[in-house]
Structure 1
Amino acid sequence: MTLIFSVAQGLMAAKAGAIFISPFLGRLDDIGAPGIKLIEGYGQFWITTDQKAEIIAVSIRSL
């Protein structure tokens, strides 16, 4: 499992063999970056590039 804060980090982790990537949504929201956009962005690359790493969102503080 690899902690990520950007789509680029998620893609690099997946290419390096990570099985799970974990965006820290609450931390991103704390600094004013919409965490859900990270999941959407990685999801688009995941679909179009056939990445195998799965997303496990963590540090969720609100819905």
Structure 2
Amino acid sequence: MNKEAILIIGCMERYRFYKQLSGHEVAELFAHYKLYEYITYFYETISSMGTHCIIRDLDNYINIHTG
């Protein structure tokens, strides 16, 4: 497993825990908003963030694309 996949899984688990979602709900959310690609593209930045910053960043990204 590559480092990007490990980070994506970690982000999904953190997001699932803090938002009290199921694994299926998180997977659908990440797929719908293309968060897999976003996390991969910004790997260096996101991998240096703490949990609260990651959650806030993902929420901001979702809010921007919700329109």
Normalising to structure 1: TM-score of the pair? 0.31
Structure with the largest fraction of helix: 2
Structure with the largest fraction of strand: 1
